[in-house]
Structure 1
């Protein structure tokens, strides 16, 4: 069973069996005196049904006899095949688990290497989370298997699936084409295998196109993001510059206002001190003139800095001018 030829020999025997020999093999399975011979007979019969893609007979035979061979590690291969024939659809998780068990028991069996790699690839192609390192390890094992048996089309097909999953699309397409070239049209199930290989090639081609589209979208997204970031940075810089300009203007206006207020206060204090030493009439004229001057100064300040609409400055200007005129005429 550990030999890579076990499956090949079993398949070869299965293809040559006559109807009477099928019955004889099933009697061997039921013979409990030699469990190893019984399992070999079961494996040959199942290989025949698998090769003929007869899922119903495979399932019925498996269900009748498989439980008697729990202690045989190779049974994991049959369990894996059975999981792929679930009526609700292939149970890839279970199939992969059994394939890993069989491969661990017989790591040198090339048929099991290919079986495990195929289930792993199908699992990954169906959307399962298969690690890249697991896929790469399976690909390396398949490359060694192909070196040993370069004329096995199934090995090439599985190799193509793994290479496609890892993004080496040229290698994948070359491998699946080689699998098609190696298939023997005289063998049973040829049409079904060729259909499967074309499906694999279509998957690889579609995955290549999807990867290329995804790369272009990522590039376009990056370019758009960079452009938007540049615009955002420029807008932020412009807003910052405008804010600094406005802040400078406000600061300058504030300082100007404070300076004006300081000058006005000094003017008022000085005027008051002067008026304090004048006669009452002269002091009143001086204060009236001071009030008019202050009104005109603040009106001019409001006009320069746009504090109020021009129409609202007419009355303060007239008042200031009138007070100043009264002070000079009286």
Structure 2
């Protein structure tokens, strides 16, 4: 059995557990036997906790961790135990604490693939629980840790690819995410005791990816609908503005026709028409119309105002 400081320690523990149909009584006996050296007892503690975690006996897991924290709390692996206890509480704050504990473990054991992967797995779970997508830099760091864990194990650990797929799904790369999960299913050892549990986990990830893709499609459709609705409202306001301008023009023309005649009436009509054009163009700008249309309306309006004010009377007669 390699020492806990060896990067092969976690996998060696898993191999030992696989060799026994029911290793729990032996592990508890070794852990309680004070005549056994501390390193061997810690290995028994690690194996027992691994067994409890596989069976999702979270309350017992937390109890065992608390019972042996005074003795083994200085071990770097104990940060991973604390992280698992925090994650089991289920709330978002505890999940964030599990990420921080895992960070401390990685800082102490940067070359242990299982420790690096635990940080990535807990972090991606935390990001999945957030209402809004996490910062891109967080996803970059999570993916870097996953890739690091895969590299350290030469790509032989199946569930690391499932974590990779979850990261890709958060990025919106759904096809790549499905490919990663499919690779995890293909690599999962058929003889492992965790085989069925892992397959269930992978299928759950597949369903989650499908749901995330549908949610992304719905969000895009919703955003497109909101944009179209905003544009429609703007168009309606423009039509109302145009109607108001037409009514104002008719009223102004009637008033001028009743009170003025000849060149003066024509000047007033030009100035009034230009003013209405400028006002309508400015109104359209407020409602996010195209700038070119607004500029054209304002230029034409200003030209009409200028013509009404400065064009010689001889040109109008």
Matched, 1:105 2:133: no
Could you tell me which residue of structure 2 aligns to residue 119 of structure 1?
122
- Consecutive unaligned residues of structure 1, counting only runs of 5 or more, are 257-330
How do 1:49-60 and structure 2 match up within 5 A?
49-60=52-63
Q: CA deviation at 1:124?
A: 1.9
Task: Determine which of 80, 83, 93 is the counterpart of 2:83.
Answer: 80
How do 1:154-193 and structure 2 match up within 5 A?
154-193=159-198
Q: Is the 8 A contact 2:164 2:177 kept in 1?
A: yes
Could you tell me which residue of structure 2 aligns to residue 16 of structure 1?
19
Residue deviations 1:104-150, cap 9 Å, x none?
Answer: 22223221221111111111222366322111221133123324431
Q: Give me the whole-angstrom Cα distance separating, in 2, the residues matched to 1:133 and 1:3.
A: 31
Q: Give me the whole-angstrom Cα distance separating, in 2, the residues matched to 1:223 and 1:198.
A: 38
Compare CA radii of gyration and give the structure with the larger one: 1
Range with bigger deviation, 174-183 or 202-211: 174-183
Q: Give me the whole-angstrom Cα distance separating, in 2, the residues matched to 1:217 and 1:128.
A: 17
- 3-state secondary structure, aligned to 1:187: coil
- 3-state secondary structure, aligned to 1:184: coil
- Consecutive unaligned residues of structure 2, counting only runs of 5 or more, are 262-317
Could you tell me which residue of structure 2 aligns to residue 139 of structure 1?
143
Q: Give me the whole-angstrom Cα distance separating, in 2, the residues matched to 1:37 and 1:245.
A: 98
Q: CA deviation at 1:2?
A: 5.8
Distance 1:223 1:20, change over 3 A: closer
| Count of residues in Structure 1 that have an aligned counterpart in Structure 2 | 255
Distance 1:134 1:89, change over 3 A: closer
Q: CA deviation at 1:252?
A: 4.2
Q: Is the 8 A contact 2:49 2:61 kept in 1?
A: yes
Q: Is the 8 A contact 1:3 1:108 kept in 2?
A: no
- Report the TM-score when normalising by structure 2: 0.70
RMSD: 2.9
Q: Give me the whole-angstrom Cα distance separating, in 2, the residues matched to 1:113 and 1:249.
A: 82
Q: Which runs of 4+ in 1 moved over 6 A?
A: 87-90
Q: Is the 8 A contact 1:164 1:204 kept in 2?
A: yes
Task: Determine which of 211, 231, 245 is the counterpart of 2:216.
Answer: 211
Distance 1:103 1:144, change over 3 A: closer
Distance 1:5 1:125, change over 3 A: same
- Report the TM-score when normalising by structure 1: 0.68
Q: CA deviation at 1:155?
A: 0.3
